[in-house]
Amino acid sequence: MIDNVYKDYKITKNTQALLPSYRSDSSTLVFETGLKIYVKQNPLEIIKAACLDGFSTYEGRREAAIYRMGAKRKVPIAICPMRDIYAFPSLSPTNFHCHWLFFDHIQDFTSPKNDSRQTIVTFKNNRKLLLSVSPSVLEKQMYRTSLCILRCNQHGEQSRGVQYNPLTEYSGNADYTPTIAFNSLSNLE
């Protein structure tokens, strides 16, 4: 079966992951809910274009995340906060083997038996993806992204004149509930 290869791709709420394509005719394999799409753009080009669609630049989103969270490496990107689209890289974004995962689609992750250097990501539609990163790295990335979402929502509330009290529990977006319990929140890079 021959798959269609598209010139470019627009990130949507259905985008689950951007993976490097190991085929000669494409640079990215996109996982969407129920679909696999091959694209000529590389994953970072797709992320950068999506940031522009969301009225910012990748560099601006990255700098804002660094400023608001302190993390300087493998920074989560608020691609389009107005539409709750957030992604994070599994490795350095410039690394060819980097996978971009979209926070809202991740249901769970586990380590395969006898290999703590890999992680099986389970998406909400039960699709599974094997990553060559440890579960602790993925847990850190999930934590950073949830913190990025929280900070974006707090900023949105403040800009709309809603008082934010850091001593009370966050109660902004009623639809937002964390899907993964974090065991270790220390040792952030």
Reported as a single tens digit per residue, the pLDDT across 141-152 is 999 999 999 988
Report helix, strand or coil for 8: coil
Closest C-alpha to 142, from 95, 90, 99? 90
Reported as a single tens digit per residue, the pLDDT across 19-28 is 999 999 999 9
Residue 3: the pLDDT is 73
Name the β-bridge partners of 78.
86
Q: Measure the CA–CA gap between 170 and 135, rounded to whole angstroms.
A: 27
> Among 77, 22, 84, 3, which Cα is nearest to 44's?
77
pLDDT at 147: 93
* pTM, two decimal places: 0.81
- Show pLDDT as tens, one digit a residue, over the chain (189 residues): 457 899 999 999 999 999 999 999 999 999 999 999 999 999 999 999 999 999 999 999 999 999 988 888 999 999 999 899 999 999 999 999 999 999 999 999 999 988 889 999 999 999 999 999 999 999 999 999 999 999 888 865 555 554 545 444 444 444 444 444 444 333 333
Please tell me the predicted confidence (pLDDT) of residue 66.
93
pLDDT of residue 186: 36
pLDDT of 113: 86
Give me the pLDDT at residue 2, please: 57
Reduced to 3 states, what is the DSSP secondary structure of residue 166?
A: coil
> What pLDDT, on a 0 to 100 scale, did the predictor assign at position 174?
42
Element (H, E) at 140: helix 135-159
User: Would you state the pLDDT for residue 44?
Assistant: 97
- Spell out a b/e string for 75-92, using b for 16 or more CB atoms within 10 Å of the CB, else e: bbbbbbbeebbbbbbbbe
Task: Of 177, 187, 7, 153, give the one whose Cα is nearest residue 83.
Answer: 153
Beta carbons of 123 and 129 less than 8 angstroms apart? yes
